[in-house]
Structures are given as structure tokens and as C-alpha cells.
Structure 1
Amino acid sequence: MKSWLSIFLTSFTAFATAFASVSHAADSPEQPNILWITSEDNGPHLGCYGDQYADTPNLDRLASRGMIYLHAWSNAPVCAPARTTIISGLYPPCTGAEHMRSMTRLPDSMKMYPQYLREAGYYCTNNSKEDYNLQKPAGVWDESSGEAHWRNRKPGQPFFAIFNFTVSHESQLRKRPHTPVHDPAKVRVPAYHPDTPEVRRDWAQYYDKLTEMDQQCGRVLAELEKDGLADSTIIFYYGDHGSGMPRNKRWPYNSGLHVPMIVHVPPKFQRLAPREYETGGKSERLVSFVDLAPTVLSLAGVHPPDHLQGHAFMGSHQTDPPQYMFGFRGRMDERYDLVRSVTDGRYVYIR
């Protein structure tokens, strides 16, 4: 009798646990897919930002279906420390990774944000640049390579996918021979650059590369549509810092830190959209790279860890906007320039 009672109680407990688990899963909100498209070395020189010289139809179309941020900042004007900020959710001077090529290690108590997403059930892919300026622990990505793709996940599994395009990198701006597509005579030369044929040619080639980058973005967006995932995927596009032209990349001026950022939230996930979200709209909110890790966790339904220094601007844990954004420059390549900058979206103070 005792053995039969024991079997009954064990079976009942197992059934109740399974039922509770299924009920909890059914009650839990559906997790969105999340797609990040990033490009290298370009400021907001896009048609959707009012640049009439630019030819970026795919990103302009994404902006017309989503929203652009007018005050988006990289926290560092060069790739590696900027990526430190993104992957850790911390300002690099706090992690020992302020200087280019630092390769320091995060404390064991802290994780890179894809690790939290994987724990929440996401299939996380990176295609393909890392360059985090930190030692990368094991288990950050399910895939990180030129072949990484959401198509490699299990059926029905939510994904977080990054596609990073390098065609606009500064190394591409002065490669010759190059036949300009954009007319150098029509370039608007910034006041801080000399108006010479060489400068005009470099700027025209930069815009040519932005058009190529836009085409690459269009191919990824077309794959998302082809796979029937556009209605269940929140899309981000952003550049990693200012252009590869002088006084842009590596310099913590607005020209080095101001970046384009577009977000698109499909109707089924409007509950996760920014509070100010409007289709085809423009947000005045201050957003910088330190905000990306808490934001993507917030979208996935993960409470951002308390040690993260940014502010979630989307999702179930979004917060009020910050009053200021901060930038910095440490050692970059051969030079030490310990510079700090701060902006309220209108003025930039540099010291």
C-alpha cells in the first residue's frame, strides 16, 4: 500500500510540475526576434537624416517604417572601445579597456550581454566582427563567423542576430583606382576641411561606399522577408562611430561620436516599442552605445543586471532618458589623448 501511495504521489507531483511549466510558458509573452545591422565608420550621412547627397534607399525605407534617433552617440570614436561599451554595457574606463587594444578581462561576476540572451533561450549569432577590446569568455555566441545566420537555429527558437558591414571602413575611402559614382563637385565639404579636389574626391568615395553598404543592408532585410520573419523581428540599424575622414573617427567631437540609429518595431510587438515610437518618426531621446545592452535584454524580457551603466530605451524594462551622454578618447593607435566629452544633445563640452 505504501509503495502504491508513493508511486501515486510521485506521478502526481511530476504531472503538476509539468502542467505548471506549460501554463507558465503559455502565459509568458512571446519573445521577439532581434536583428542588428551595423556599419563601420559612418556618421548620419543617410537620406533619412536629410542628407540629399546620399543614396541609401534601403535604410531610408526602413526609417519610413520605423523611427530614427536624432541624438545617438557612440561613446568612443573608434571601433574597439566602442564595441567594449556595447558588449559589456559598461563605459570602458570602468573596465580597464579605455585604450585601443587593451584586451583586459571582465570580472567573473559580469557577463557579456549575449550570454544573458542565451540563458533566456535565444539563438545568438554574430556575423562577424568582434574586436571587443576585452578577453572573450567561452559561450558568448552560438555562432560568430562569416557563416553565422539565424537560419541555423532550432525551429521556433527566438534569435538575436548581428550583421556587421565593413565596406564603409576608412581603409576603403582612399583606395585607387576608383571611378566616383557621386559627383565630387556636388559634395558639401565641412567647414573644418579644406575645399580641395582631393578632399572632394575622398568625400565622394565615402558616399559611394555608403551606397554599397545600403545595398548589403537591403540583402539582409530581403532575407528576413523571404523567411517570413519580418512581422516577428525588431530591427536595429546603427553605425559604429563617425566617418573615416579627418576630425571624425578617433576624435570625440560630435563628428566622431554622432551616429545614425534606426529602429523598427512590427505591430505585434508594439508593447515593447519606445514610448515615443511613431512610424516614420524622429526621436529626440538621448541614446548611446552604453544603452544597447540593457535595451536588448529588456526586449527579451530579461531584467538588466544592476551593474549595467546604460538606460534601456525599449522593452518591458525601459527607463526615463538620461540628461547627458558621455564620450571619451584614450590611446588610439600611436597617440595618447586622454579626452572626455559630454553632450545634452545640443552642445558638446570637450576637455
Structure 2
Amino acid sequence: MGWIQFALIIAVILNFNLMLFAADSEAGRPNILWITSEDNGPHLGCYGDQYADTPHIDKLASQGMIYLNCWSTAPVCAPARTTLITGMYPTCLGAEHMRSMVKLPDGVLMYPQYLRQAGYYCTNNSKEDYNVAKPGTVWDESSRKAHWKNRKPEQPFFAVFNHTISHESKIRNRPHKLVHDLAKVRIPAYHPDTPEVRHDWAQYYDRITEMDALVGKNLKELADAGLADDTIVFYYGDHGSGMPRSKRWPYNSGLQVPLVVYIPPKFRNLAPADYQAQGKSDRLVGFVDFAPTLLSLTGIKPPEHMQGNAFMGKYEAPAQQYQFGFRGRMDERYDLVRSVRNKRYLYIRNYMPHKKYGQYLNYMFQTPTTQVWKKMYDAGQLKPPQTYFWETKPAEELYDLEADRDEVNNLASSRDHQDILAKLREVQQKKLLEVRDLGFLPEAEIHSLSDGGAPYLIGKNTELYPLPKILAMAELASSNNSDNQDQLITGLKDSNSAVRYWAAMGLLISGRDAVQQGRQELRESLKDSSKSVRCIAAEALGKFGNKKDVRNAVNTLFSLSNQNQDGLYVAILALNGLEKLDEKVAPVKEKITQLPRKNPNLNRRLQSYVSRLIERIEEKETPANLKKPQ
């Protein structure tokens, strides 16, 4: 055989192999449809909720599998969606707050960009609401007109359809003629049983039924196009119910979402081992796992920076033992909460326990349930556990999710549960250090230290951000232990501003005696180089100091409350401090009302927070015996 004939044979073999590879590649490239609904937990028939009316999602579940333990990672939309789009914890990106806007580090893309590089047509219809700036073109189309049908012939697609009908705003709009029976609605143990609360819960279920119909429309459209056998379908909610104490709170009620997955027979090789029709999986999965799972299903190896585990597909990873949640600033109110669960227990760490659960949030208080609940509390008409939401928090919470579905029986002090408490505490702290959680920096310093760059890189800088030392002070500060006061006072002199911030916070949390003991050091902190430290020191002195301390504290906070001079995040912190001082702000109240309420240079998502705080201070009455400035 001559070399020419040999070469031709080799060419034919190679060409045949290439055709086989192409065929295999095409067979291994499923379409993927994600159907998302807003602000609803697993209140669906397929999850055993007999009050729910959700025939279309139930039918999808009968063909596919439901996940019993899926967490949204964040209990509110923007951070939750940031988790989804990046496959990373927003806490390591400086993007945990509701809402914010930061940059991603170079080389980190959003998951649709990886899919588009692989030839997928990617659409989003239509909500984005990310806390991170898009690194270039992310979607082929992202709009209310975005649709998989606009792709090229035979091009595989990834498509998102997001349904807003179950959103918090839709469970309180009136008039609404109820379909679900008020008498049959289940009221969780933490809510009072009133007509307003029953109406909100029943209307919530009405909206879920309406949402289910939209899901059915998406699925019918896919089937009518003859694509059902070629498409993997996910249905999931974006976080827990929009009812108060679910949404915004990293309880299971705020983080658990429904997840229904259907994998057609031709792609069952991509399914996890426990997949079966009408199946149920107790595997712990979360939004941080969704991006790597999506890439895995399309044959793309998840990049190293993604922090979740693929739970199906070519690159399926071992199941995780724990899922993690978080809460940062919610609109105009600061807080810092971290949570972790295994299959049975939920642990919550409150790093700002002096703040009430139900801080006044303008948006949350538009819900009738919130209004009547707070009114009844103020009137002394409630008993535990209905009172807890309006009170300050313990440092630690532990709940048995099997025995206590409403998470109202805190087992943190139970002798029988100290081992699991210690274990989950250890797991939670280890995760903070592993992902380099930036939430322990004051928000203003997340932005000032990154100086227009990616905060993620600040977190990786162990000299600039010595997290173990900062975390140790935050743990001391939030434990509210009188034995820690000397260490807190010493911490006010630390070279790191975040350590000083938490030291001042610890004295504020500890109360009057601690502030009295550290009064001189707190006075000196009113001149700290960090404006955030100044704010917390001033709040502590304003709340627990003498008349001179109060005057200096109020003046300090007011001097830092102009967002056009000191920045948005310092102004939010300062105005929160002023609002907490109630009638003590009388000498500067008129000046507060004259502060600029808008900054045209800010992202529009952030424009309302200062204005809301000023309005809240305006609403509070000033006693007649307190003189205004001369």
C-alpha cells in the first residue's frame, strides 16, 4: 500500500471519527429551560401542601424529581440572583447587600457567557437584579421578548422565564377576591391569627396558583414545539415566601425553595444516581450549586472560582453535608447574619444581636400582616413566639427542622444539643474563612479599599483584610459577654479599622455599663480615621453617654449623614444611628430634613435608601420640651 492510499484511509477514519464525535456532541447537548417564580417557598401540591393548587408543577414533578432541601443561599432577590449568575457566594464578592453594585474580578464570567462560548443561545425573560456589574455581553437577549424560539435553526438553547406574580408586592395589593378558603389556611406559629394575616396568606396561595398556570404555559409551548424530549427543565423559586419573617431572613422559611427537575430519557446519562420519575431527593443543594450544575449538564467543566458543587451532569461532585445562608443590609437597614444547615438542624449566628429582627423597612411595612403584627405587639396583645420578631436577637439560634417546622423553639441553650451547636458553629466559621467573607468589613470600606476595582481581591489580601483577627473581634463583640469588655476597649486602638469597628460595635451591643467603662476610648474614636468607626462610636455614646456625649455623638452622626459628601454607605450608617437616638436628635432634626435625598451619580437601584431614612426620622415626634437649635 502506498503512502497516498494510507493517508486517504487515515483521513477517512479521522473524518468518520469526527462525525461520530459531532453526533455524540450533538446528542450530549440538551436544551435547558429554567422557569423561576418569585418569593415563594415549597408551598406546592407536589411537596405535600394540600392547601396549594398547583397542577402544572405537580405534573412536572410526577415526570421528574423534586429536591426536598434546596436553599436559595440568600433570602432576598438581588443577592440570591447574584449567587445564581456567578456560582459564588456574594459574601466573598462584596455583593451581599440588598442592593449594591460591585465589580467582578478579571477572568470571572457569568454562567451564560460560558454557555454562549460553547455555542448555546442564551435568553433571559427578563429580571436580572444582580449586585455585580456584567463583565461584557452576558445574554443573547435579556428582555420581556427574550425567547428560545429566536435562536438559529438547530442551535441548542438555555432559556430563563421569570414569573413575578407571586412576588411580595402581589400578595398585598387590594382589592383581591380570594379563591383559597380563609378558614383553611395554615398560620405559622410566629404570626398572629387575624383576618389580615389570613387574607395575606390566602392571597399568597392564590398567586401561587396563578404562577403555576404560567409555568404550565411555558411547558405547553415547549411541548407544542416538539422540544420536550430534548430539553432539561428546572422549576424553582428565587427565595422563600414574601411574607414577613420569611423573605429577608436566613431561616429555612426564608431560604428553602422548591426545585423540580425533569430530565428526558435521551439525557438520563446526565442525571444523578438517585434520579427517578416521581422521585424525591434529600440531597442538600443551593443556588451556589446551580451554575456549576448547569455547566456540567452542558459538558463544560465548572471553573475553579465557582464555589458550589454540580449535583448532576458530566462533572457531578459529591453531595455537600451543609448549605449556607446569609443576611446583610436589607435596603436601608444594616444587619449581619450567617446561617448553616445540615439535613436536620439549622444554626444561625447573629453578629448584630442588638438590632431587632423586624427593623423598620419601608417596603416590608406595606404588607398588612406586618402592620397588624407590629400594632398588636406595641399594644401588648401578643405572646411568644409571636413577640420574637419585634425584639432583639440572641447571638446564636439552633432549630430542629424535623420537630419545629416554624423555627420558633431555639435550642441553643439546650444541654442535649450542645454537640450539634458546637459542630455547626465550627462549620459556619470555617466557611467564612474559606470563602473570605467580606461582610465583616463596613460596607463603605468594601468600596473604599477596592477603589473602583473588585472587592473580591481585597478579600484575598490577607494583610489588607486579616479576616481571622477581624472575625475574632466580631465574635467577641456579638457574644454580649461582660468578661469581654477590656478586650473590646483594647480593640479600639487596633491598627485595623475593621477590628476597631467591631470593638466599638461590641461596646454598643453590651450596653450602658460597657459604654461607661470605655467612654474615654469611644470619645477618642469620634475622630477615628474610619468614618464607619466614628458612626458606631457615636451611636454608642449617643445611646448610653452623658449629655455632653450625646451632643457630640449627634453632631458627629449628622456631620457624616450627607451622602454627597461622605458617600452613600457612610450616610446610611450615620442616619441609622441618628434614627436610633429618637428624641435626642431634636437639635439637628430640622437640618436632617434638609439633607440631599438623591445623588444622581448613584446606581438607580440605590437611590431611595437615604430618602427613606430621612423620612423615618421626620415621622418621629420631637417632644415639646426639647429645644431646637438657635
Match of 2:21 in 1: 24
What pairs up with 1:152-167 in 2 under 5 angstroms? 152-167=150-165
**Aligned alpha-carbon RMSD (Å):** 1.7
* Structure 1 residue 30 displacement after superposition: 2.6
Match of 2:119 in 1: 121
**For residues 14 and 142 of structure 1, do their structure 2 counterparts lie closer, same or farther at Cα, with a shift above 3 Å needed?**
farther
Equivalent-residue separation in structure 2 for 1:218 and 1:272 (angstroms) = 24
Match of 2:82 in 1: 84
Equivalent-residue separation in structure 2 for 1:27 and 1:178 (angstroms) = 53
1:60 aligns with 2:58: yes
More strand by share: 1
What's the CA shift string for 1:92-117, capped at 9, x where partnerless? 01111011121111111110000000
The residue identity in structure 2 corresponding to 1:78 is V
1:254 aligns with 2:252: yes
Question: Which of 169, 173, 179 is 1:175 aligned to?
Answer: 173
Equivalent-residue separation in structure 2 for 1:223 and 1:325 (angstroms) = 34
Match of 1:300 in 2: 298
Equivalent-residue separation in structure 1 for 2:17 and 2:344 (angstroms) = 52
What's the CA shift string for 1:71-90, capped at 9, x where partnerless? 00010000000001000000
Counterpart secondary structure, 1:217: helix
**For residues 44 and 27 of structure 1, do their structure 2 counterparts lie closer, same or farther at Cα, with a shift above 3 Å needed?**
closer
Listed as ranges, the gaps of 5+ residues in structure 2 are 1-7, 350-630
The residue identity in structure 2 corresponding to 1:26 is A
Equivalent-residue separation in structure 1 for 2:272 and 2:21 (angstroms) = 26
Question: Which of 216, 219, 240 is 1:218 aligned to?
Answer: 216
More helix by share: 2
* Structure 1 residue 133 displacement after superposition: 1.0
Equivalent-residue separation in structure 1 for 2:20 and 2:216 (angstroms) = 40
1:35 aligns with 2:61: no
Counterpart secondary structure, 2:335: strand
What pairs up with 1:222-241 in 2 under 5 angstroms? 222-241=220-239
Equivalent-residue separation in structure 1 for 2:105 and 2:326 (angstroms) = 22
Question: Which of 314, 317, 326 is 1:316 aligned to?
Answer: 314
Equivalent-residue separation in structure 1 for 2:232 and 2:214 (angstroms) = 18
Match of 1:3 in 2: none
Equivalent-residue separation in structure 2 for 1:14 and 1:136 (angstroms) = 44
For the pair shown, the structure with the greater C-alpha radius of gyration is 2
Match of 1:112 in 2: 110
Match of 1:270 in 2: 268
* Structure 1 residue 40 displacement after superposition: 0.3
* Structure 1 residue 167 displacement after superposition: 0.3
Counterpart secondary structure, 2:334: strand
Equivalent-residue separation in structure 2 for 1:18 and 1:118 (angstroms) = 26
Counterpart secondary structure, 1:203: helix
Counterpart secondary structure, 1:179: coil
* Structure 1 residue 17 displacement after superposition: 8.5
* Structure 1 residue 282 displacement after superposition: 0.4
* Structure 1 residue 243 displacement after superposition: 0.6
Determine if contact 2:328/2:335 at 8 Å carries over to the other structure: yes
* Structure 1 residue 20 displacement after superposition: 6.6
* Structure 1 residue 19 displacement after superposition: 6.9
Counterpart secondary structure, 2:97: coil
Equivalent-residue separation in structure 2 for 1:261 and 1:17 (angstroms) = 43
Counterpart secondary structure, 2:217: helix
How many residue pairs were aligned? 341
The residue identity in structure 2 corresponding to 1:282 is K
Listed as ranges, the gaps of 5+ residues in structure 1 are 1-10
**For residues 157 and 336 of structure 1, do their structure 2 counterparts lie closer, same or farther at Cα, with a shift above 3 Å needed?**
same
Equivalent-residue separation in structure 1 for 2:58 and 2:23 (angstroms) = 37
Structure 1 length-normalised TM:
0.94
Counterpart secondary structure, 1:160: strand
Match of 1:208 in 2: 206
* Structure 1 residue 15 displacement after superposition: 9.6
Equivalent-residue separation in structure 2 for 1:111 and 1:138 (angstroms) = 9
Equivalent-residue separation in structure 2 for 1:159 and 1:337 (angstroms) = 40
Equivalent-residue separation in structure 2 for 1:288 and 1:183 (angstroms) = 33
Counterpart secondary structure, 2:62: helix
Question: Which of 283, 288, 291 is 1:290 aligned to?
Answer: 288
Equivalent-residue separation in structure 1 for 2:272 and 2:35 (angstroms) = 19
What's the CA shift string for 1:240-260, capped at 9, x where partnerless? 111111110000101000110
* Structure 1 residue 16 displacement after superposition: 9.6
Higher relative contact order (CA 8 A, sep 6+): 1
The residue identity in structure 1 corresponding to 2:247 is K
Determine if contact 2:28/2:298 at 8 Å carries over to the other structure: no
1:190 aligns with 2:203: no
Equivalent-residue separation in structure 1 for 2:107 and 2:19 (angstroms) = 32
The residue identity in structure 1 corresponding to 2:341 is T
The residue identity in structure 2 corresponding to 1:137 is P
* Structure 1 residue 24 displacement after superposition: 3.4
The residue identity in structure 1 corresponding to 2:21 is H
Equivalent-residue separation in structure 1 for 2:203 and 2:106 (angstroms) = 45
Counterpart secondary structure, 1:260: strand
Question: Which of 339, 342, 347 is 2:340 aligned to?
Answer: 342
Counterpart secondary structure, 1:286: strand
What's the CA shift string for 1:25-61, capped at 9, x where partnerless? 2343430000000000000000000000000000000
